[in-house]
Amino acid sequence: MNFEEKAQSWLKSTKLSSSARKQIKDLKGDPSAFEDAFYKDLAFGTGGLRGIMGIGSNRINEYTIAMATQGFANYLKEMFPNEKIKVAIAHDSRNNAELYTRVTAEVFSANDIFVYLFKELRPTPALSFAIRALKCHGGVVLTASHNPKEYNGYKAYWNDGAQLIPPHDEKVINYVKSIHTIDEIKFDKKSDLIKYLDDTIDNQYIDMITSLSLNTPQKNKASNLNIVFSPIHGSGVTLVPLALKKFGFENVTVVSEQSQPDGNFPTVIYPNPEEAEALEIALRSAKNINADLVLATDPDADRVGIAAKNTNHEFELLNGNQTAVLLIYYLLRKWKENKQLKGKEYIIKTIVTTDLISAIATHFKVDCFDTLTGFKYIAEKIRKLENTNTFIGGGEESYGYLIGDHVRDKDAVMSCAMIAELTAWVKEQNKTLFDLLIDIWMEFGLYQEGLISITKKGKSGALEIERIMKTLRTTPPTILNNFFITDIIDYANLTHLKTKSKKIISIDSPQSNVLQFITENGSKISIRPSGTEPKIKIYFSVHSSLKSRSELKARKDKLNSQISKLSTSLLKHF
């Protein structure tokens, strides 16, 4: 079915509103936009269903949300026959979130599925926790994470509180694709199957986070740590301040300009704590009150960005790799000091996250596992090991972290609390987070990472990304930055090629459209199309020794130069 036929099938639906009908007819006046809206169906990626809001099968709207829900409902009923199926649903602050949440709940209930519904916006990790606490078979959170205001999305969760992974995600999409008309969706809600949650789940979730504390602030001199927090107009405002208070932090200033939930995100260009611009207001506030730490969460509060004072007592942003390194080091050190390491503990990171974490884990004699990008793969590993081994913590370079296994997705609420505890612990020693980071680099090696994202929008962009990946596979570079490539790891074909011996080793991993090149000097380059945005992402990782603080700048400059040269030489092969 081509895009015109697909649009026509929508127009024939008796359940399509007059408003939606008019939007489709108006869209025909712009042939390019019309094709882009209907040329394909939205598909589940690493973050679920995500796209620009608007009419069309390739857009987020109440009908694509309803189709996804109907497909998910059909699959749940197949997988759990003769059971009273239960799901939990939450949403963040994005525009239309309440509408999409209502539609999701109504379609589930129309399919005789019991729905637990958060009555107000809540962080994504709270939804993950609720699924497990309420013994649900699945769940949904309506969010587009840190994407621009034009976006919304639909994250589907399984009964372990983790996002859908293969084969579940593919089977749900197949069920969605089997729905040929909007008329096949069950919209007639059953109100008695929809229950609004009270604050019981919130309290249980916060109690769980509080139990993770390893060095309670009440017992140290840094309980007066001065913190500035920004929810960037999102759901973090509902639970992050409460979690910090439970950890003993009383001096928490919430950025007033960004405290009100608002899907237009009026004070930022992107509601993304990875972007320095999103933390500008929080940093101004921190400087005015001489704060020790700045924390900022994205709209659904699963990612956190931080800023702390460097060795010159000036605020500096930490990137996702640096924060992950600090958290993992702190967790492992405290577990060792508390004599909690028994030999079966482990941590997890993704294949594009700094290998410095692996070096730290080796030092503490704790296993470190690598997974594909996407926190659902970290959750999958936790599920496989939950009955035999103990998960301490893990994370990814894109500002997502998790401590303990009660939640099965990245969790900025617990991360904020643990980062504050870590900062208090460092302050007790008259150090900064950056002092600790330098200590770690001197002990384990200086690792430097870089990332470039190339945006390719629309149908033509998707084809261009496909061409780039095909070119890199069929005619890969042999040299990058004057160093021979010794290893080519292809997660689509699940092969690891040793270029010198031509030996091919099989990889034990789910398939994914990811390529990695490793050079003879240990540099690692990873290339992957984004699962949630029209981008191709290229990750660079280089490292060297660091013998003294005085050589830090020179060493960093040299590593950054290596990344720049690697980037230039790789792009020539596009």
The residues assigned a catalytic role are 145
Cβ atoms within 10 Å, residue 65 = 25
Q: Which residues are CB-contacts of 48 (< 8 A; sequence separation ≥ 6)? A: 153, 154, 155, 156, 163, 164
The DSSP 8-state label assigned to residue 348 in this structure reads E
Among candidate residues 260, 251, 315, the one with its CA nearest the CA of residue 283: 315
Q: Which long-range contacts (CB under 8 A, 24 or more apart) does 96-102 make?
A: 96/53, 96/62, 96/152, 96/263, 97/121, 97/142, 97/143, 97/152, 97/263, 99/62, 100/60, 100/62, 100/65, 100/142, 100/152, 100/154, 101/142
Phi, psi of 82 (to 5 degrees): 65, 20
Q: How far apart are CA 551 and CA 186, in angstroms?
A: 65
* C-alpha dihedral sign at 58, 59, 62, 68: positive
Residue 497 corresponds to which amino acid? L
Number of Cα atoms under 13 Å in the Cβ half of residue 205: 30
Number of Cα atoms under 13 Å in the Cβ half of residue 192: 1
Residues 537 and 424: beta-carbon distance below 8 Å: no
Residue 46 corresponds to which amino acid? T
The encoded tokens of residue 419 equal: 């980062």
Which helix (H) or strand (E) covers residue 451, if one does?
strand 446-455
Q: How far apart are CA 187 and CA 103, in angstroms?
A: 8
How far is the first Cα of the chain from the last one, in angstroms, to the nearest whole number?
A: 32
Decide: helix, strand or coil at residue 154: strand
Among candidate residues 106, 88, 83, 73, the one with its CA nearest the CA of residue 175: 73
